[in-house]
Structure 1
Amino acid sequence: MKTVLRIIVCLLIGWRAVAQDHIFVETESFENKGGWVIDQQSFVVIGSSYLMAHGMGRPVKDATTTVSFPKKGKYQLWVRTKDWAPFPKGPGKFQVVLDGKPVNTIFGESGSDAWKWYPGGEIDVKTDQLKLALHDLTGFNGRCDAILFTNAPKFTPPDKPAELTAFRNKLLNLTDKPAEAGNYDLVVVGGGIAGTCAAISASRMGLKVALIQDRPVLGGNNSSEVRVHLRGDVDKNHYPKLGRIVREMDNGDPGNGHPDGQEYGDTRKTDIVKAERNITLYLNTHVHKIEKKGNAITAVIGRDIATNKEVRFTGTYFSDCTGDGTLGHLARADYRFGRESKAETGESLAAEKADDFTLGTSNLWASLERDTATSFPETPWALPFSDEYHIDEARSDWQWETGFGNFNTITDAEKIRDHNLRAIFGNWSYLKNNKKEKYGKRELAWVAYIGGKRESRRLLGDHILTQMDIQEGKQHPDGTVTATWTIDLHFPDSKNSKYFEGQEFFAGTKHIKVAPYTIPYRCLYSKNINNLFMAGRNISTTHVAFGSTRVMRTCGMMGEVVGFAAYVAKKYNTSPRGVYQEHLPEFMAIIKDEPTAAKP
């Protein structure tokens, strides 16, 4: 009897093992991405990167990989995707192809803009491996997060964020300890102009630095992925030493949205960083976890946006140069989001009531003249344009902007980008099909799929810069970066609001000129996280003051200051605040480049 029971138990265990085989495939980990691109901008919402077919209306090449199966037999196919423009059905259609044969279901046209698992039917696996492909049908931004093969009966993969994350991590073996990247004097998170300058500055002062960037290129908004030109002056400094590294990063002024991405100097920036012997560069690494001891960060954990492998960085000091204040948010640093009221700040330019209004996100684009006429399809799913209202231009500028309090620039990043795409493609379709004499031979040459953000979280320091600081030219003992940009606060263009109320994608502004002024060092470190610096558009300002400090040459000089401050902090084993309270004369001597300043 015992023998029979043992046989039954073994059979049940074996049946359960077979029945619960899950093969989880992250699309961003495909061996060959083809013409599909990796998008990690919504990691905070869906917990993952995904692949997107960004072909500007022309189908892209297949993304392919090989999938190994532990057992042959029947499997259910599930595909995690969405219809990004369900008006009523969007254009992001694609197929899943197995060993050259597409499955029957067409994905990406469900009429729902929620990320969900969709069934793809049963497949019969007769070999140990299958070639898996994503086949784009339109070139209009179809997207796929993951693919699951399962032989568990009546199994539906989880969609709730926490359950999906646990499921994903388990099947990808991400529950194990991440690889150790080592210990650093300064860990810089964010590889835009501010973060890159911070890393270089600290490196040249002798610090061991990790520079972590969540995209394959450096430069952030000034990269070939976003293509925003640098603004703010570096030649009006009270302290001419500041801005030297910014000048090295500067690849000239190609304007906004130049059709040739090389004009933005990705290679130049990377080469400069790689020449620094004290910097270890980690591209394609999204920081999504931190470790703390008391009120200090001890480590950050980043996930490779393609392979999903995790890496842990320990450090003495950390700098949040993410723009979104991501690191500060993870560490529970104090921050503000949106506009303060006049009553709170005393600023004449502040809002009457506090709200969540922020400057928006731009996706720039450009077209080029061709030798022969080209076509572009009708776009019933896009924003509607007409003879009465359309935007008659062949290349965008900064005004193509979505946000303005209608969307949260962090949690709605994908929606904002998609809204911008609906505006771009809808307007271009109108121009191509209704103004053929002018646009018949023009073709979309480039459209950004990475959003160029302006405003989100502002981390609070020991000083919050205000409109009065700027316009009154207040002299602070720790005044460092000289800023020159106007108070430049965007708002929806009135004509755009008339035709797209609540869905604006085009901005206006009123430039309020200022005399060169200095930003206090106390705006560049957190008031409640003991070892956190910040540089870039997430520093300690009011919404109004942010309108002037946010441009990239100014942000780059902030990074340079952070590098010098980290050097002084390490030298005396003190905090960023301790640099101000206990070592300000020495720190300012370095900023002023005085001969008596401390050297590494």
Structure 2
Amino acid sequence: MRKFVAIALVLLIVQWVAAKNSPSLFIEAESFQNKGGWVVDQQFMDLMGSPYLMAHGLGTPVADATTTVDLPKTGRYTLFVRTYNWTSPWTEKEGPGKFQVSIDGKILNNKVLGATGNRWEWQEVGKIDIGTRRVTVGLHDLTGFNGRCDAIYFTMDDEDFPPDELDALTAFRREKLGLPETVPSAGNFDLVVVGGGVAGTTAALTAARLGLKVALIQDRPVLGGNNSSEVRVHLGGRINLDPYPKLGDVVNEIAPLRGGNAQPGDYYEDEKKLEMVNAEENISLFLNYRAFSVEKEGNAIKTVVARHIETAEELSFSAPLFADCTGDGTVGYLAGADFAMGRESKADFNEPTAPEQPDKMTMGASVQWYSKEGEKHCDFPEFEYGIEFNDSNVQNVTMGEWTWETGMNYDQIFEFERIRDYGMLVVYSNWSYLKNRSSFREAYRNRYLEWVAYIAGKRESRRLIGDVILKEQDITDFVIYPDASAPTSWTIDLHYPDPENSEHFPEAEFKSIAVHKAIHPYPIPYRCLYSRNVDNLFMAGRNISVTHVALGTVRVMRTTGMMGEVVGMAASVARKNDTTPRGVYLNHLESLKRLMTKGAGKYNIENLQNYNLGGTLGPKKTNIQIPPYDKE
């Protein structure tokens, strides 16, 4: 028996060594040299392991993505592709995201991928004979309906199956890509800002103008987050309010001049944000890098590691201070920061608007879209994947903005791919019904989808806990804290499933309503802008220390941008005095107040932010003592 076990063990080892040493090639789809019409989607790489390429063609097949590679040798290979049938949560029929793989322009084995599989998995294309080492690999989209490809694997070993389990797959990727065990340093900085939305951009600009060496890390090719051409949500709220009317000057410098949700991409002025950041010599900008790991020393973050979403290159970022402006509180979560998610009960903070029992409900994410009128008839494919429309429940509209909101009863972190996919599913399904089967389809005869977001606009997920948790009564009763800072002016604006939509689509809503409670402009306590248990972590944006109800007012982007300005100022005070974010409050609050009084604007730009200001009860007198900013 022992002899048999020993022989079996030797055979297993031999097989493992053979597989490890067998000729193979691993290709990350997002690294393709020519993306064609495919787009890089990184939103879910923390969940499924990697960014991926997606054929976002709005029902029209996109141009092939191609890349030229050198195989280890010629001969017979087995080819695997990691993909996912994205409509599988709603139907068992073949999915619409169909595509094929080609070598030197020849489709391999007529194999259709992406039509099956209810999770991310490796699908086998089959065996192929390759007579030259240098080949061009292509992804050929068949539908334009968001087929997705994570990676491609060539192997000459019949027993060499790539792993599906995430940890094993992560190790497999690192080995096949030859990623170094030691991550190179991007340099040492005074402040590392993770997240390049409005809050992160203003935090970086402000800190840099005050003399700090700043790294700004953003996991997309553009800045602005929800206020970028990728998501297309316009700015909301008011700037330049008492008690610190210079707060908002930096927001004004990067802000688009035109308002409107789901408008043409140039409305959002991506280039203005990039130009402002690139003009600051103290900012090192790292576009297309996603932070995924944190190293701590005691209760402080020592290093953040980020990965490029196309090349897989990794860089480490070290600094005495970090700012989490990711929206999802990603850096704080990785560092073990205390956080909340969902709705608190009425008993938790005695908030009048809170539900009787706590729950996991959040405000949702929007997949916005719009159509255009063409000069001639244009078709749209039949699209039916588990959501049934008819004349009574179809949305008889030509565009969809913030009210097209999904995922309120799902986890906005760990179920976010499903949430985003459902947002696209209902847009396509609704449009298909309007075009093909509705009694009023003639009105849509010449209309075509011009734009549908694939980067979802998220409103709420983790809220990192600070030394103060801002609650509803603080705002409505105008309770002013000694560390009052950036003003919030938007209504307490909370979203709920649209009752009419719920009636037609129970537990599958995709429309929302907003319930507003007007407020006086209210200065947010500075202590909401840093973590209570990670010593060197600031936060700005929708992930600050507030209750679910209080989030309803602070989450709009002119307000989050002013938070970023305050964080940039506080970081400069902390660095100058070799202290922590909490230390700024305890020992240097007057210095922070001087900076908030002075502001960090640079270009003396007239405030033209006169759109989407929101309702308000008007200013209310405060008793805040403002020190003169020209004296220390």
User: Normalising by the residue count of structure 2, what TM-score does the alignment of the two structures yield?
Assistant: 0.91
Corresponding residue for 1:279?
283
Report if the CA contact (8 A) 1:54-1:140 is conserved: yes
Moved more, 51-60 or 16-25: 16-25
1:153 maps onto 2:185 in alignment: no
Deviation at 1:15, TM superposition (A): 9.0
Which amino acid in the other structure matches residue 23 of structure 2?
A: D
Paired residue secondary structure (1:166): helix
Out of 123, 127, 135, the residue aligned to residue 122 of structure 1 is 127
Q: What are the residue-to-residue correspondences of 1:417-456 with 2, within 5 Å?
A: 417-433=420-436, 434=438, 435-456=440-461
1:22 maps onto 2:54 in alignment: no
Name the Cα RMSD after superposition. Answer: 1.7
Distance 1:327 1:540 in 2: 15
Corresponding residue for 1:206?
211
Paired residue secondary structure (1:91): coil
Corresponding residue for 1:4?
none
Deviation at 1:599, TM superposition (A): 8.9
Distance 2:631 2:307 in 1: 36
Out of 250, 259, 271, the residue aligned to residue 254 of structure 1 is 259
List per-residue Cα deviations over 1:301-333 (Å, max 9, x = no partner). Answer: 110000000011111100000000000000000
Report if the CA contact (8 A) 2:241-2:247 is conserved: no
Distance 1:13 1:371 in 2: 63
Which amino acid in the other structure matches residue 337 of structure 1?
A: M
Report if the CA contact (8 A) 2:307-2:314 is conserved: yes
Deviation at 1:351, TM superposition (A): 1.4
List per-residue Cα deviations over 1:431-484 (Å, max 9, x = no partner). Answer: 112233321111100000001000000000000000011101111111001111
Corresponding residue for 1:8?
none
Which amino acid in the other structure matches residue 280 of structure 2?
A: E
1:416 maps onto 2:422 in alignment: no
Task: Evaluate the alpha carbon distance shift between residue 90 and residue 194 of structure 1 in structure 2; reply closer, same or farther with a 3 A threshold.
Answer: same
Corresponding residue for 2:324?
320
Corresponding residue for 2:97?
92
Task: Evaluate the alpha carbon distance shift between residue 18 and residue 576 of structure 1 in structure 2; reply closer, same or farther with a 3 A threshold.
Answer: closer
Paired residue secondary structure (2:190): strand
Report if the CA contact (8 A) 2:195-2:218 is conserved: yes
Distance 2:469 2:231 in 1: 29
Distance 2:420 2:397 in 1: 20
Distance 2:65 2:19 in 1: 31
Corresponding residue for 2:115?
109
Deviation at 1:72, TM superposition (A): 1.6
Which amino acid in the other structure matches residue 433 of structure 2?
A: Y
1:390 maps onto 2:394 in alignment: yes
Task: Evaluate the alpha carbon distance shift between residue 454 and residue 299 of structure 1 in structure 2; reply closer, same or farther with a 3 A threshold.
Answer: same
Report if the CA contact (8 A) 1:65-1:131 is conserved: yes
Moved more, 53-62 or 350-359: 350-359
Which amino acid in the other structure matches residue 479 of structure 2?
A: K
Paired residue secondary structure (1:391): coil
Corresponding residue for 2:629?
597
Q: What are the residue-to-residue correspondences of 1:499-578 with 2, within 5 Å?
A: 499-578=504-583
Corresponding residue for 2:498?
493
List per-residue Cα deviations over 1:36-88 (Å, max 9, x = no partner). Answer: 00000101111200000000000000000012111221111001001111322
Paired residue secondary structure (1:509): strand
Deviation at 1:142, TM superposition (A): 0.3
Deviation at 1:146, TM superposition (A): 0.4
Corresponding residue for 2:64?
62
Deviation at 1:13, TM superposition (A): 11
Report if the CA contact (8 A) 2:240-2:247 is conserved: no
Which amino acid in the other structure matches residue 152 of structure 1?
A: D
Report if the CA contact (8 A) 1:19-1:152 is conserved: no
Which amino acid in the other structure matches residue 597 of structure 1?
A: Y
Out of 465, 484, 497, the residue aligned to residue 460 of structure 1 is 465
Which amino acid in the other structure matches residue 43 of structure 2?
A: Q
Corresponding residue for 1:354?
358
Distance 2:218 2:591 in 1: 31
Task: Evaluate the alpha carbon distance shift between residue 598 and residue 537 of structure 1 in structure 2; reply closer, same or farther with a 3 A threshold.
Answer: farther
Corresponding residue for 1:72?
74
List per-residue Cα deviations over 1:497-545 (Å, max 9, x = no partner). Answer: 1111111110011111111111000000000001000000000000000
Paired residue secondary structure (1:157): coil
Corresponding residue for 2:608?
none
Paired residue secondary structure (1:218): coil
Which amino acid in the other structure matches residue 412 of structure 1?
A: E
Distance 1:17 1:578 in 2: 56
Deviation at 1:597, TM superposition (A): 3.0
List per-residue Cα deviations over 1:105-160 (Å, max 9, x = no partner). Answer: 100111x3300001110011211111100000000000000000011222221101
Out of 344, 347, 355, the residue aligned to residue 343 of structure 1 is 347
Distance 1:266 1:452 in 2: 16
Which amino acid in the other structure matches residue 55 of structure 2?
A: A
Moved more, 564-573 or 150-159: 150-159
- Give the unaligned 5+ runs of structure 2: 1-13, 599-625
Distance 1:248 1:363 in 2: 27
Corresponding residue for 1:6?
none
Distance 1:67 1:415 in 2: 33
Which amino acid in the other structure matches residue 219 of structure 1?
A: G
Out of 380, 399, 419, the residue aligned to residue 403 of structure 2 is 399
Distance 2:254 2:344 in 1: 34
Deviation at 1:178, TM superposition (A): 2.1
Which amino acid in the other structure matches residue 410 of structure 1?
A: I
Report if the CA contact (8 A) 1:215-1:285 is conserved: yes
List per-residue Cα deviations over 1:168-220 (Å, max 9, x = no partner). Answer: 11111224322211000000000000000000000110100000000000000
Q: What are the residue-to-residue correspondences of 1:205-224 with 2, within 5 Å?
A: 205-224=210-229
Deviation at 1:235, TM superposition (A): 3.7
Paired residue secondary structure (1:562): helix
Distance 1:582 1:194 in 2: 25
Report if the CA contact (8 A) 1:237-1:481 is conserved: no
Report if the CA contact (8 A) 2:235-2:259 is conserved: no
Paired residue secondary structure (1:553): helix
Report if the CA contact (8 A) 2:382-2:432 is conserved: yes
Paired residue secondary structure (1:529): coil
Report if the CA contact (8 A) 1:232-1:551 is conserved: yes
Report if the CA contact (8 A) 1:339-1:358 is conserved: yes
Report if the CA contact (8 A) 2:230-2:455 is conserved: yes
Which amino acid in the other structure matches residue 325 of structure 1?
A: G
Report if the CA contact (8 A) 1:205-1:567 is conserved: yes
Corresponding residue for 1:38?
40
Report if the CA contact (8 A) 2:24-2:71 is conserved: no
Which amino acid in the other structure matches residue 432 of structure 2?
A: S
Out of 469, 477, 480, the residue aligned to residue 482 of structure 2 is 477
Deviation at 1:19, TM superposition (A): 5.8
Report if the CA contact (8 A) 1:24-1:147 is conserved: yes
Aligned residues: 587
Report if the CA contact (8 A) 1:35-1:61 is conserved: yes
Which amino acid in the other structure matches residue 420 of structure 2?
A: R
Distance 2:420 2:452 in 1: 11
Paired residue secondary structure (1:490): strand
Distance 2:16 2:350 in 1: 71
